Structure 1
Amino acid sequence: MKVGVLDYGVGNLGSVCRALEQLNATPVLVDRAVDMHLNDCLILPGVGNFIDCARLLQEGGWVDALREEVLGFDRPLLGVCVGMQLLADAGLEGAGPDQPDGTPGLGFVPGRVEHLGALGCSLRLPHVGWNNITNRSPSDGLFAGVPDGTDFYFVHSYAFVTRDAADVLATADYGVPVTAAVRRGRVWGTQFHPEKSSRAGAQVLRNFLAGPQC
């Protein structure tokens, strides 16, 4: 199986590729949007700032190409960390008075990305480290074989607020409920880093690759 890891200028590409290799998948670094079509499924990594990641996607021609792959060809997509946040309609990180609705995202999962402090979190930010998750959609196979209460590794200050609660696969608690994973159609996302989450993270990646979506 060829798994396209999107190399658009950001992301923990090395660790993602190593994690895939350990699952006997073939990771392919895709550095041109036109080459996405050559892969069985896609992973969208992301680290840092929503605005920078969204800008790089737009400037590199990734936005329209991703929409064609996902909406036109039903290509399975997994967003990781900021990659999950980019699935939203918009992100409020760095939003100023001239852009009150934030920076546009890909719009695959309706909702927007907001600062944890604005959501009521009074704990230290960013949220860094291991935190346990609660599976909100046991019928979805992404967390098959992963018991409730399993720890995953998080690094973020912003959280995805979905418009439809049915799109939330899992949550974590960090002073406020935090969306830990989402799914709509053939698009999945994890706020945590599966490639840094030991056996549990490997199981999530294995489930994504082994499911009927790929």
Structure 2
Amino acid sequence: MSPLIVNLIIRATLQTLEMVFASTAIAVLFGLPLALFLITTSPGGLYRLPVLPRIVGLIVDALRAVPFIILLVLLIPITRMIAGTSLGTEAAIVPLSIAAIPYFARIAEVALREVDPGLIDAVRSMGGTRFTIMRSVMIPEALPSLIGGLTVTLVTLVGASAMAGTIGAGGLGDLAIRYGYQRFNTTIMLWVVAVLVVMVCLMQLIGNILTRWLKR
């Protein structure tokens, strides 16, 4: 394999990692509070609201229902407004983040629902505030499941970032399409697949290790 191809693969891999980790960080930053909101305002929650959680839940599910490739195209005007362009790695972070926020929010919601209600009631009976319950009970108890959900989100975004390459987002997907598919270069296609497989396996392995360690 020529040095040019090696350099292309390394650069595309770094671009993919940038897209995946940046969008995942944004997904956690907004998705976890969103999950806490859905949990605490639901019937029987810490802050009971009658209508708003249902509306927010519908919006979350609507965003999750749109296939990413369609969402990618629909969000081009918003991407241009935020990033100044619809092309490149930085621009791709916008649709990836918007797609990842509701995805991670639902995963985090499931993890938070698994927290033993008895622990919450015990803290409340001792005078713990609702914020204390969320900070000191719900999140720590759900942390292993949250890490597992974070791992799933990372792996999903690897595939989504490759899909974003179809509109010039850069990364391994763009490399596979422009230098592999369009130029009939099977070698590049195989190398891209190999790098993606290794990347996903490493993410899953690290996520599993962290989850097991936190459960102990």
| TM-score normalised by the chain length of structure 1 | 0.26
Whichever of the two has the greater Rg, that structure is 2
Higher strand share: 1
Higher helix share: 2
